[in-house]
Amino acid sequence: MLKFFIENKIIILLFIIAIVIYIIAINRGLELLYVIAELSLATLVLSLIAPYFNILGIRASVKHPKYSKQTQNIPILIEISASNFFGKYFLEVWLKTPFSTNMNHMFFIKSLYKKLTIESEVSSDIRGVHQIGPLHIQTGFPLGLKVFNKILENTKSEIVVLPNPLQVEKFPLSQDESFALYGDNKSKKKGGHDEFVSVREYKRGDSPRYIHWPSSAKKGKLIVREYQDILASSLIIILDLNRDFNVGLSKESTLEYAITIASSLAIYGLDKGYSVSIYGRSKDEIKLIDIKGSYNNTEILKNLAYVESDGDKNYVDSIKHFLCLDKRGGTLILFDNGSGEVERNMNSYISSVSNLVLFDIDAQSFKNDVFNEEFEIHNYTKYNKYILKKGCDLKRMLS
């Protein structure tokens, strides 16, 4: 009851004033006061019921793309119509956009007759699967004493915001930073096997075993076969999706930094000819195995859009679990949050791969408002380690 009086105190006050004027008019017999009292009551009643009829019969639809990328603007098309004869005036149309820094967008409609189309753009700042809408319409027309609201449930929809990978110019995804391994320089990893790529002219230092004699005889000069070490050209990214790993809010969190790094290196690897595998254990496991070709870039990003840090599996156990399932060598990308647990187990991973990279994301730095663009790179004998904090210039780090 108290809440009702607080929310409607102006209306109650005006109603009391109108009654007082009416009582004075009766006692004094002044016709002008009668008129004022009646006009006040009529205006008050009108202000209470007019907003209801002003919002009655409104229908709407919201159209937008199914997918978008972080930092891109999403085109939004809102169509609103009124089914009755009378026009609608001074409407506020609110649209929930949880994928944007500004989570609510308001569009003001001065007048609405039959049908109106609103075209706008909304920024997509936060990766993930989000519900957009429903539209929330409110009006206080004509006097604003009473506001009526209407939620259009049929305008709810889903939008998937993909991570926006950074442009990686060069990143050491193999020890020698090359794909084609020639002659005696090929990987000596046991169990490895190579794939024929092409032929080329003989260079000093090439092994005679790889001379292609038919081509050499045809061209009158030595031609050698060029191979790619399949094991060395695989990229494995294992994400820590334990809920304890994720620290921070929204896009400024350890998980989002890891997703940005993972998506950027995955796309870079696909474009360079690597086979890419991404693995992570949460409530909904992500398991992409041997994805090849840059035409699969979108598939990688779509899968990463659905990733959530809601698992309870230990990350070290997840790494061992995946490597036991699929020991293929190549480059292994791992993550830590400053705990040092992953690094303490490095020796157990090194034997399974030819190149190991650890991104150590300082979780403690995500608990405050300080941003630090700098990062550290440590090139150890058996692995490379990147140390970064909240605000790190990821683009510069990956270049």
Q: Is there a domain that residue 46 lies in?
A: no
One domain, residues 290 and 207: no
Residue 374 is predicted with a pLDDT of 95
Q: Determine the average pLDDT of the residues in 363-374.
A: 95
Q: Determine the average pLDDT of the residues in 317-331.
A: 80
- Residue that finishes a domain, picked among 189, 213, 229: 229
The whole-angstrom separation of Cα 204 and Cα 223 is 12
Q: Is there a domain that residue 126 lies in?
A: yes
One domain, residues 297 and 313: yes
Q: Is there a domain that residue 52 lies in?
A: no
Residue 8 is predicted with a pLDDT of 62
pLDDT band at 145 (very low <50, low <70, confident <90, very high): confident
Task: Provide the domain limits for residue 219.
Answer: 180-229
Residue 179 is predicted with a pLDDT of 36
DSSP string, 336-365: E-SS-HHHHTHHHHHTT-SEEEEEEE-GGG
**Which of 52-66, 172-186, 273-287 is least confident?**
172-186
The pLDDT tens digits of the residues spanning 18-27 come to 777 767 767 7
Percent of the chain with pLDDT over 70: 83
162 has a pLDDT exceeding 90: yes
353 has a pLDDT exceeding 70: yes
Contacts of 6 (CB under 8 A, 6+ apart): none
Q: Is there a domain that residue 49 lies in?
A: no
pLDDT band at 326 (very low <50, low <70, confident <90, very high): low
The pLDDT tens digits of the residues spanning 116-142 come to 999 999 999 999 999 999 999 999 888
The pLDDT tens digits of the residues spanning 234-249 come to 899 999 999 999 999 9
The CATH number of the domain where 112 resides is what? 2.60.40.10
Q: Determine the average pLDDT of the residues in 179-207.
A: 52
Q: Is there a domain that residue 315 lies in?
A: yes
Q: Determine the average pLDDT of the residues in 259-287.
A: 93
Q: Is there a domain that residue 23 lies in?
A: no
186 has a pLDDT exceeding 90: no
193 has a pLDDT exceeding 60: no
Q: Determine the average pLDDT of the residues in 195-203.
A: 68
The CATH number of the domain where 297 resides is what? 3.40.50.410
Residue 197 is predicted with a pLDDT of 52
pLDDT band at 100 (very low <50, low <70, confident <90, very high): confident
One domain, residues 340 and 377: yes
The whole-angstrom separation of Cα 224 and Cα 196 is 11
What's the one-letter identity of residue 124? S
Q: Is there a domain that residue 202 lies in?
A: yes
Q: Determine the average pLDDT of the residues in 248-266.
A: 96
Q: Determine the average pLDDT of the residues in 72-90.
A: 90
What SS3 class is residue 137? strand
- Mean pLDDT for all residues in the chain: 84
Percent of the chain with pLDDT over 90: 54
- Residue that finishes a domain, picked among 206, 229, 252: 229
One domain, residues 300 and 372: yes
Q: Determine the average pLDDT of the residues in 354-375.
A: 94
Q: Determine the average pLDDT of the residues in 185-194.
A: 40
Q: Is there a domain that residue 13 lies in?
A: no
What SS3 class is residue 109? strand
One domain, residues 241 and 383: yes
User: HEC profile for 111-130?
Assistant: EECCEEEEEEEEECCCCEEE
One domain, residues 184 and 204: yes
pLDDT band at 188 (very low <50, low <70, confident <90, very high): very low
**Whats the size of the chain, residue-wise?**
399
One domain, residues 285 and 142: no
Residue 199 is predicted with a pLDDT of 74
155 has a pLDDT exceeding 80: yes
The whole-angstrom separation of Cα 286 and Cα 318 is 12
One domain, residues 242 and 305: yes
Integer angstrom CA distances of residue 398 from 167, 173, 275: 8, 11, 19
Residue 260 is predicted with a pLDDT of 97
Based on DSSP, count helices (H) and strands (E) in the chain, helices before strands. Answer: 10, 22
69 has a pLDDT exceeding 90: yes
DSSP string, 30-70: -HHHHHHHHHHHHHHHHHHHHHHHHHTTEEEEEE--SEEET
Domain count, the chain: 3
One domain, residues 371 and 314: yes
Is the CB of residue 293 less than 8 Å from the CB of residue 252?
Answer: no
One domain, residues 267 and 156: no
The whole-angstrom separation of Cα 22 and Cα 35 is 9
Beta-bridge partner residues of 225: 199
- Residue that finishes a domain, picked among 229, 246, 263: 229
Where do the H-state alpha helices sit in 279-327?
A: 297-305, 315-325
One domain, residues 83 and 99: yes
pLDDT band at 232 (very low <50, low <70, confident <90, very high): low
185 has a pLDDT exceeding 50: no
One domain, residues 199 and 290: no
Sign of CA dihedral 242, 244, 250, 256: negative
The pTM for the full model equals 0.77
